[in-house]
Structure 1
């Protein structure tokens, strides 16, 4: 008599999507709003997958993203769950606290007065 494996539940087959919670999204949109008000950024897109949640920032909607704010839970114990990635794929900042990681973008808004 052979025993077949019992079917697994649907939650085991399909891992949950990674998303930004309300606090995280609020922090990201606060920085985004400053740049929109300054005329630097005009569009954004969000993507939620099994590995990461991504907030992509665009100067114009037809371009590649200038920056991506990523949340990758699997990196929580290593480099940090949050990262800001530049347009060419370079990691500008990575860390465990979203507000600290977003400071790399805030510095770009502050310019000396000519």
Structure 2
């Protein structure tokens, strides 16, 4: 399955990037653990033409703590997945989603200790 999915109702004219089911399962698994640890409370998903973004929040009225991005155009370069911090800094980028999300897993270990 392609990482570019036609936006509903457009007949494929305008394609947007979206997370696939397997990718969402990986992200939501981490999200559930972070919610259980009291670190995260809400999330939002954006599907745009060049990027899909999973944003996590401590409170819904704040800016996102982290954004998990998927940019298929960067697949052959530095990797299509990235974790972006609150200040806009790239915390980790790579080709494998699980590997990229490890930067957030370390924060979960610290939160539980």
For 1:3, the equivalent position in structure 2 comes to none
1:58, distance to aligned residue in structure 2 (A): 0.2
Q: Secondary structure at the match of 1:74?
A: helix
Matches within 5 A, 1:98-113: 98-111=97-110, 113=113
For 1:88, the equivalent position in structure 2 comes to 87
Bigger radius of gyration: 1
State the TM-score, normalized to the length of structure 1.
0.86
Aligned pair count reads: 102
CA RMSD in angstroms, aligned pairs only: 1.3
State the TM-score, normalized to the length of structure 2.
0.86
Greater strand share, 1 or 2? 2
For 1:40, the equivalent position in structure 2 comes to 39
